[in-house]
């Protein structure tokens, strides 16, 4: 199913493609926010630099990560969790820039989640070859709130499965400015990112950037 959302003389068409009940791609939705997003990202990365975390199983994650908002997501040898200070700097995570919050709320609204108010944004930076194995986003106590995921830069093959790891996955190609929103019946569905292919993007060079907005407080 596709649904036209709006046309913009400068940014082109924005439309929706359903993935499954509860999950949808908003094509090009973030393009109109692009300049502000990159300015915000520079600012965040200066205060809370990208780092490669090590999973409880001892694997170094190939995507580099940082966070902004009230909570940031971390992994270490003892587990995964959200915390209010950056363990690298000892400082609170940089606040969520107003434009980023507005983008996430507007995307959630378009996708049918009008109540969404994010308090955390995990920022993943993928170099060529980096990936994210199939996983569930289940560290957030309020599973009534969706996940809003903004893709920038190099394209990705996003895998979206079902409630069990072994469920068949759909492959959704995500390009610069696409936003995926999943919640409701799809909130705990497994998802992942296949290794990023070689390329050069005018906005991000040899990287893909992904922002996932979450609601962490109860």
Please give the residue ranges that form the binding site for ligand SIN (CB under 6 A).
Answer: 124, 132, 149, 151, 156, 158, 191, 193, 210, 212
Considering CB distances under 5 to 8 angstroms, the limit depending on partner class, which of ligand SIN, Fe ion, none binds residue 210? ligand SIN
Q: Are 86 and 48 in contact (CB under 8 A)?
A: yes
Q: How far is the CB of 65 from Fe ion (least distance, A)?
A: 11
Of 32 and 187, CB closest to Fe ion: 187
Determine the residue with CB nearest Fe ion: 137
Q: State how far Cα 104 lies from the chain centre.
A: 10
Q: Which is nearer to Fe ion, 149 or 204 (CB)?
A: 149
Number of C-beta neighbours around residue 128 at 10 A = 14
Output 10 or 60, the one with its CB closest to ligand SIN.
Answer: 60
- Give the CB-nearest residue to ligand SIN: 210
124 binds, among ligand SIN, Fe ion, none (CB under 5 to 8 A by kind): ligand SIN
Residue 131 pairs in a beta bridge with none
Contacting positions for Fe ion (CB under 5 A): 137
Least distance between ligand SIN and beta carbon 158 (Å): 5
66 binds, among ligand SIN, Fe ion, none (CB under 5 to 8 A by kind): none
- Quote the CA–CA distance of 177 and 188 in Å, as a whole number: 24
Closest CA to 155 of 203, 100, 101, 212: 203
The three-class DSSP label of residue 21 is coil
Dump the DSSP string for 119-185.
-EEEEEEEETT--EEEE-----S-TTS-EEEEEEES-EEEEE--SSTTS--EEEEE-TT-EEEE-GG
The least CB distance from residue 104 to ligand SIN, in Å, is 14
CB atoms within 10 A of CB 212: 19
- Residue closer to ligand SIN (CB basis): 110 or 151: 151
To Fe ion, the closest distance from the beta carbon of 128 in angstroms equals 20
Q: Which is nearer to ligand SIN, 67 or 149 (CB)?
A: 149
């Amino acid at each position: 199913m596709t649904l036209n959302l709006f046309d913009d003389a400068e940014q082109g068409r924005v439309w929706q493609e359903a993935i499954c009940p509860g999950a949808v791609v908003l094509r090009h939705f973030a393009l109109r926010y692009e300049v502000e997003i990159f300015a915000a990202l520079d600012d965040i990365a200066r205060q809370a630099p990208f780092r490669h975390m090590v999973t409880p199983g001892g694997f170094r994650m190939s995507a580099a990560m940082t966070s902004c908002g009230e909570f940031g997501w971390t992994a270490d040898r003892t587990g995964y969790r959200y915390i209010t200070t950056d363990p690298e700097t000892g400082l609170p995570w940089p606040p969520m820039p107003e434009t980023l919050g507005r983008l996430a709320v507007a995307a959630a609204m378009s996708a049918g989640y009008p109540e969404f108010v994010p308090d955390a944004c995990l920022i993943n930076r993928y170099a060529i070859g980096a990936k994210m194995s199939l996983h569930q986003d289940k560290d957030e106590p309020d599973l009534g709130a969706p996940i809003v995921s903004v893709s920038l830069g190099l394209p990705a093959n996003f895998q979206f499965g079902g409630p069990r790891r072994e469920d068949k996955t759909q492959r959704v190609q995500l390009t610069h400015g696409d936003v995926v929103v999943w919640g409701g019946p799809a909130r705990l569905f497994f998802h992942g990112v296949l290794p990023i292919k070689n390329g050069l993007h005018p906005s991000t060079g040899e990287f893909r950037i992904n922002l996932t907005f979450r609601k962490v407080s109860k």
